[in-house]
């Protein structure tokens, strides 16, 4: 196994360590999001599941570090950071931008002979479904308008100029990463993929969600919830139950760490 070239403790956060859990859920945040977004997931699933949340640079306790504005580069770093955390079956969950990062990390792990036993892609159209978007080129007011339209950011953050100054650079970088991402033709994973999407999501139509089926040679299914891009805020209990069912099955599977 290759030696780590990144500090895994910076990238991988375990809100509630569960060393005896039979399965690990790795969660990838949305654009502008942070590892702390998944603390409620850890509260709901621990101790049966160990939740590991990815912390991208440029936010919260990593706010002094340069942001990474390329999905492939992010995936390379996360792939490296996860090398020593494959001691049990691993499931990936990514929301919005996080779904793309999770997909690319899964591809890298599978090239090594391992990989997650299941991938959840939430609130994001399939890698092959492209839209021309230029949110990252807007001024700060334009970025804030985008945040408001997605209804995924606490209104207190949007009204606090000092906090916004801290958040906007990471948000702009993340949007640049998403909007300039181009999948490798024919890119797919071997693991089963479950898509979760809101039925009124302006960023992902149901057809764009179903297209994830083209990116796995494993099983595919899609769960549709009432709501928009951040449907999972209002449907947290339902989403947790979907995760719980798949994680229970994953716990009984052998891990896919390379020999």
φ/ψ bin of 139: left (φ > 0), alpha (ψ from -120 to 50), beta (otherwise): beta
Structural tokens at position 96: 């919005």
Cis peptide before 79 (omega within 30 of 0): no
Count the Cβ atoms, other than its own, within 10 Å of residue 6: 15
The answer to whether residue 96 is catalytic is yes
Residue 94 near residue 27, CB atoms below 8 Å:
yes
- Closest to 26 in 3D by CA, of 37, 14, 43, 44: 14
Pick the catalytic residue from 36, 96, 122, 151: 96
Backbone angles phi, psi at 39, to 5 degrees: -60, -40
Three-class DSSP category at 132: coil
Count CA atoms closer than 13 A to 54's CA, side-chain side: 30
Residue 2 is given by DSSP the state: P
Rounded to a whole number, what is the distance in angstroms from the first to the last CA of the chain?
Answer: 8
Across 70-219, the runs of DSSP E, i.e. the strands, are 90-95, 118-122, 193-198
Count the Cβ atoms, other than its own, within 10 Å of residue 179: 18
Annotated catalytic sites, by residue?
Answer: 96
């Amino acid at each position: 196994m290759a030696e780590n070239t990144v500090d895994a403790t910076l990238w991988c956060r375990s809100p509630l360590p569960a060393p005896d859990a039979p399965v690990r859920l790795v969660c990838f945040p949305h654009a502008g999001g942070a590892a702390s977004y998944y603390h409620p997931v850890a509260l709901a699933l621990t101790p049966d599941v160990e939740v590991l949340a990815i912390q991208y640079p440029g936010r919260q306790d990593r706010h002094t570090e340069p942001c990474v504005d390329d999905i492939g580069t992010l995936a390379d770093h996360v792939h490296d950071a996860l090398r020593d955390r494959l001691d049990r079956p691993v499931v990936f969950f990514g929301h919005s931008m996080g779904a793309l990062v999770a997909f690319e990390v899964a591809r890298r792990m599978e090239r090594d002979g391992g990989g997650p036993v299941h991938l959840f892609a939430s609130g994001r159209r399939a890698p092959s479904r492209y839209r021309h978007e230029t949110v990252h080129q807007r001024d700060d007011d334009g970025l804030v308008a985008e945040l408001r339209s997605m209804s995924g950011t606490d209104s207190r953050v949007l009204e606090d100029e000092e906090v916004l100054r801290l958040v906007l650079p990471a948000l702009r970088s993340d949007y640049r990463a998403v909007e300039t991402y181009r999948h490798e033709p024919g890119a797919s994973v071997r693991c089963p993929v479950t898509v979760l999407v809101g039925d009124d999501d302006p960023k992902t139509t149901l057809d764009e969600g179903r297209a994830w089926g083209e990116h796995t040679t494993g099983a595919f299914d899609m769960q549709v919830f009432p709501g928009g891009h951040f449907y999972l805020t209002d449907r947290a209990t339902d989403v947790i139950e979907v995760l719980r069912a798949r994680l229970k099955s994953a716990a009984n599977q052998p891990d896919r760490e390379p020999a």
